[in-house]
A and B are shown apart, each in its own frame.
Chain A
Amino acid sequence: MIRVVSTFCIGLMGFTCIANYHVSEQTRIARQELTRTEKEIKAETRDISVLELQWQKVANPEVIQKLAEAQLGMQNAPSVQLASVHDLPRRGDMLNNEDVHSANAEVEATPTPVVKAAMRSGM
């Protein structure tokens, strides 16, 4: 009986040692992977940070305006705000006490300018 118990205990100890070694080895490998992944994340974050900065530079209105004027021959066009977004009815709201089922609009091919904008000509 004692031999059996002793053998079982020694076997259990041996198994525990092997299991512990296995877990610690897995942990070491996982930690290495984690470190590598963290480095990659750090490098990616740096790259994203630099790219965001570069994007901001190219999306700068000054750059876009220069490109539009030089490449597309565009000029500042007067624009008007006819209504605020807040004035629009919310989805599901009743319009004139009736549900809105469909809507359409037609736009003139060459709309005549209705706004006399203060353009930089003369003074």
Chain B
Amino acid sequence: MAAELTVYQRRILFGAAFAFVAFLGVGARLVDVTAFNEKLAVPRKAETVFAARADLVDRNGDLIARDQPADDLYARPRLLKDKRAAAAALAAATGADLTRVQAVLNDKYSSALIARRVVPEVRVKVDALKLPGLEYLPNSKRDYPFGRTTAQVVGVTDLDGKGVSGLELGLEKQVRSGQGPIATSIDTRVQFILAHETALSMAEFHAHAAGGLVMDVKTGEILALVSLPDFDPNARNFQEGDSGRNIMVQDVYELGSVFKILAFSLAIQDHKIRLDESLPIGNGFKIGKYTIHEAEHMPAYLSARDVLAQSSNIGTAQIALRSGAARQREFLTNLGLLRPLKSELPERARPLYPSNWGIVETATIGFGHGISVSPLSFATAVASIVNGGRRIAPTLLKNPVDSRGEQVVSPETSATMRDLLRYIVTDGTGRKADVPGYDVGGKTGSAEKPGRHGYQAHKLVTSFCATFPIADPRYLVFVVLDEPHGTKATGGFALAGYTAAPLVGHVIARIAPLLGVPINPITLAKENHNGSG
């Protein structure tokens, strides 16, 4: 048996055992940390590439606005041997002003700003120069691939990347919240068609301005919103004739006869008229010292249905008076027409209406004079009537769910109004808006513009408000032409039936198949038969 260990040997042995166990413990922990313990791993933050603002996309995911890398280009003048040649080359590559580039390169500062927001294509040209002392500071530029087509509704940002108009300003918080792309309600295909057809009509009738919108009457989504003249959001400067004013939301108009939809809705809702009753029209309708006239020749008597179909001012005035001033005002308030309309767009207009709402005002407001509202407000009010009579709020964010609120008119009134709108298109002033098979219903509106010395007979605002398919409407199309002029083809007439109604017909003919609206074979066959006959 070995000799017993001394006390020192025992201590050394104990120390060695302790060190061994400690090594084992540290080793085990190392293995645990490196191989098994994932929690201790430092989480890596997802890096944002360069975007300060989120993408805006349309309802189908197509890009409407995106930040693209566009760095600021600086040069170190001291490192440039031939400053004059370098200035000329840099100015040519970037499009910068040559005089300014020469000035900054000859300045006393060590770094000179050559160009801001150099897009990748330009950067390739600059890099090809192989000049020494060039450097880039990260920046980005907001790009709008649809250009003018979406300019008025999407808006623009300033040089610092802040929204200054349209959705860029209205959705500023969401765009900067660091979320993913923001889906708008816009359908770029519908937007293009509306913009294209509106531009054609504006040119054809030499109109001062024009605009239009397409709205889903059940969800409140605005699929397209166009206002002309527009501007190029990528150019950041206005050319001659450009405008940044969105007439559909920023301007208010006396819309004229298209307002008769509201007078009839109220009268039908309150059972103030029967559609088959006969109303005296005559040559003028006197209220106090004022006399209401018709825009066109009318028969002595018209049925209530034809008062709307032929757009009789005198007949509508009588119907509006049956409702009375207080009830009319209450109804229009309920439809949201007497206050600025809220939407995601920051631009809005305050409606103009009489402070003293008397008998004369009740009669004239019945046929759309004496009250000015924005086209978007009016379209929203009509959408609430035709969608089954339930209040709807417009939205420019994708929200494809039924968003109808409380009843503003009964479902029966809504159904009756839809029949009347269809009658206007088949037998009234809106014939040129008809698209065989799509069962369009709608109303024309031609209003003389007010001037310094009263209404100006030759300056009209024409509009057409249509909805389809009329049995169970899904979409509403509203267009406005500001000061259109008659052409040879229209016999010199500039009324809505000749200018705005055909425009709506062209738009619906193109967008209805895109939106998946099935054709009604019965009306298609019937209308083709009538057409060929």
Binding site for B on A (CB under 8 A): 1-2, 5-6, 8-9, 12-13, 16, 20, 23, 38, 42, 45-46, 49-50, 52-53, 56-57, 59-62, 65, 76, 78-85, 87, 114-120, 122-123
Beyond known contacts A60-B146, A116-B531: 8 more, CB 8 A cutoff: A1-B13, A5-B16, A62-B196, A85-B516, A117-B435, A117-B509, A119-B506, A123-B502
Residue-wise, chain B 1-39 has the 8 Å CB interface mask toward A (1 for contact) of 000000001001100110110010001001000100000
A56-B145 in contact given A9-B20, A81-B519, A118-B502 (Cβ < 8 Å): yes
User: For B62, what are the chain A residues with a Cβ–Cβ distance below 8 Å?
Assistant: 56, 59
Q: What number of A-B contacts does a CB cutoff of 8 Å give?
A: 120
In the assembled complex, the Cα of A77 lies from the Cα of B513 at a distance in Å of: 12
CB distance from A20 to the nearest CB of B (A): 8
Which of the 9-residue segments B63-71, B77-85, B219-227 touches chain A? B63-71
Inter-chain contact A118/B68, CB cutoff 8 Å: no
Q: Collect the chain A residues with CB atoms within 8 Å of residue B432's CB.
A: 118, 123
The reply to whether B487 and A114 form a contact with Cβ atoms under 8 Å apart is: no
Minimal Cβ-Cβ distance residue in A for B201? A120
A6 x B16 contact (CB < 8 A): yes
Chain B residue numbers with a CB within 8 Å of A5 are 13, 16-17, 20
B118 nearest CB across to chain A (Å)? 13
Q: In the complex the two chains form, is A115's CB within 8 Å of B437's CB?
A: yes
Residues of A within 8 A of B306 (CB): none
Let me know if B192 is at the binding interface, CB within 8 A. Answer: yes
Q: Which of B145, B518, B527 contacts A116 (CB 8 A)?
A: B527
Q: Quick check: B498 and A123 within 8 Å, CB to CB? A: yes
- Give chain A residues whose Cβ lies under 8 Å from the Cβ of B145: 53, 56-57, 60
Give 18 CB contacts A-B under 8 Å.
Answer: A9-B19, A9-B23, A13-B23, A49-B49, A49-B69, A53-B68, A53-B143, A57-B145, A61-B189, A62-B146, A62-B196, A81-B519, A82-B519, A82-B521, A85-B516, A115-B436, A115-B524, A117-B509
- Set B192, B490, B518, B528: member contacting A82, Cβ < 8 A: B518
Once bound together, how far apart are the Cα atoms of A87 and B517, in whole Å?
A: 12
Q: Which of A13, A62, A120 contacts B506 (CB 8 A)?
A: A120
Mark interface residues in B244-260 (1 if CB within 8 Å of A CB, else 0). 00000000000000000
**B-to-A contact residues, CB < 8 Å:** 9, 12-13, 16-17, 19-20, 23, 27, 30, 34, 47, 49-51, 62-63, 66, 68-69, 120, 143, 145-147, 149, 188-189, 192-193, 196, 200, 432, 434-437, 487, 489-490, 498-499, 502, 505-506, 508-510, 512-513, 516-519, 521, 524, 527-528, 531
- Given the complex, which residues of B lie within 8 Å of A87, measured CB to CB? 518
Alpha-carbon distance A57/B19, docked complex (angstroms):
70
Q: Is the CB of A81 within 8 A of B513?
A: yes
Closest to B195 in A: A62
Across the interface, do A50 and B518 meet the contact criterion of CB distance under 8 Å?
Answer: no
Pick the most buried of B432, B434, B489, B518: most chain A CB atoms within 10 A of its CB. B518
Whole-angstrom distance between the alpha carbons of A80 and B513 in the complex?
5
Interface centre among B50, B62, B145, B531 (most CB of A within 10 A): B145
Does the CB pair B69–A46 fall under 8 Å? yes
